[in-house]
Amino acid sequence: MVEKIKKLKEKHNITIAAHFYEKKEIFELADLTGDSLALAKKTADIKNPLVFCGVKFMGESAKILNPDIDVYMPKLADCSMARMAEEGLVENNMKMLKENEIDFIPITYINSTAKTKAIVAREGGLTCTSSNSQKIIKWALSKNKKIFFLPDKNLGTNTAKKLNKTAKIIGEKNWQEADIICFNGHCSVHQLFMPEHIEFFKEKYPDIKIALHPECQPEVVKMADFAGSTSQILEYVKAHSTEKIAIGTEANFVNWLKKNINPNIYILSSTKPECPSMNETTIESLYNLLKAIDEDRGYNKIEVEENIAKDAKKALQRMMELS
């Protein structure tokens, strides 16, 4: 099947992009790989049709930043965190901020729908990813405003801690006083990592390093040696290529790191942390899509309504300019 995919890809001059969390066989045949920021940048420059293996907001961002190309996805699986920041809820939260006379800049994690990005842009805000959240939040705080951060309360709180700022979830006690006010969303995969997982590994291997994604809960991040985006975790593992490391992020990526960079890697959990949305894309679904494109019946072509795309693009471009 891999050979058939390669032939179809070549025949139609298709670029395949894949996020680090995709299944290993897909990741290994992709032309462009990386974390969400790297993929948004890399796919913005291409001229040929794109097949994006990842979650829906990634394909959408690629289409918004590069509207002249055809962007397809083998599966339109959405990130569950992106779905939490549903349009009506985001607008209600912003209304609450305004009723409390809070002067704020909204920042949405790129893990959000195009509609949410557009709403944020209309309020003068922008996007960030897990690799540039500190830089973007720092920039916004320099405008002497509070931040409304969405959808991920954990990334918002962990970034606030790094910058010595306060964070609270909207609606919780004294939320109005915080520097960074967070929407109440989270990642159901990273939410699984617990302090006792770190305690278990530290007890078993006292020298072990703990690296995880900043979507993990603050009490877990506090105990780790390193927290960073998927690309930053990759760099950390390369820099500690002979040490034992327990990693708190999606299993496909951790297993790839173990196979390719450092055999002394462990998944920081007793259960397999799999992102159901990323794992919807399989080698079969990739092949089926390429075959359909070959037969002129391509499907899952990403289209974003013009007025949403226009505003969502502003939110993405403001981030690109700063990072």
Contacts to ligand SF4 by CB under 6 A:
55, 79-81, 111, 187-189, 215, 250, 275, 277-278
Q: 36: burial class by Cβ within 10 Å (0-12, 13-18, 19+)?
A: buried
Q: Which residues bind ligand 13P (CB under 6 A)?
A: 35-36, 79, 111, 129-131, 187, 213, 215, 229-230
Q: How far is the CB of 245 from ligand 13P (least distance, A)?
A: 17
Q: Which amino acid is at 57?
A: F
Q: Nearer to ligand SF4 by C-beta: 38 or 275? A: 275
Q: How far is the CB of 252 from ligand SF4 (least distance, A)?
A: 10
Percent helix, strand and coil across the chain, each rounded to 5? 45, 15, 35
Other C-beta atoms lying within 10 Å of the C-beta of residue 131: 20
Q: Nearer to ligand SF4 by C-beta: 55 or 147? A: 55
Answer yes or no: are the C-beta atoms of 191 and 204 closer than 8 Å.
no
Q: Nearer to ligand SF4 by C-beta: 97 or 269? A: 269
Quick check: helix, strand or coil at residue 202?
helix
Q: Nearer to ligand SF4 by C-beta: 22 or 148? A: 22
Q: How far apart are CA 154 and CA 142, in angstroms?
A: 22
DSSP, res 191: G
The entry of ligand SF4, ligand 13P, none that residue 80 binds, CB within 5 to 8 Å by partner kind: ligand SF4
Q: How far is the CB of 272 from ligand 13P (least distance, A)?
A: 15
Q: How far apart are CA 226 and CA 223, in angstroms?
A: 9
Residues in contact with 199: Cβ distance below 8 Å, sequence separation at least 6, in sequence order: none
The entry of ligand 13P, ligand SF4, none that residue 65 binds, CB within 5 to 8 Å by partner kind: none
Q: Nearer to ligand 13P by C-beta: 75 or 213? A: 213
Answer yes or no: are the C-beta atoms of 16 and 27 closer than 8 Å.
no
Q: 296: burial class by Cβ within 10 Å (0-12, 13-18, 19+)?
A: exposed
Q: How far is the CB of 131 from ligand 13P (least distance, A)?
A: 6
Q: Nearer to ligand 13P by C-beta: 78 or 294? A: 78
The entry of ligand 13P, ligand SF4, none that residue 35 binds, CB within 5 to 8 Å by partner kind: ligand 13P
The entry of ligand SF4, ligand 13P, none that residue 217 binds, CB within 5 to 8 Å by partner kind: none
User: 155: closest CA among 36, 316, 19?
Assistant: 36
User: Closest-CB residue for ligand 13P?
Assistant: 35
Q: How far is the CB of 161 from ligand SF4 (least distance, A)?
A: 19
The entry of ligand SF4, ligand 13P, none that residue 277 binds, CB within 5 to 8 Å by partner kind: ligand SF4
Q: How far apart are CA 314 and CA 270, in angstroms?
A: 42
Q: Nearer to ligand 13P by C-beta: 5 or 246? A: 246
The entry of ligand SF4, ligand 13P, none that residue 129 binds, CB within 5 to 8 Å by partner kind: ligand 13P
Q: How far apart are CA 273 and CA 192, in angstroms?
A: 7
Q: How far apart are CA 285 and CA 95, in angstroms?
A: 42
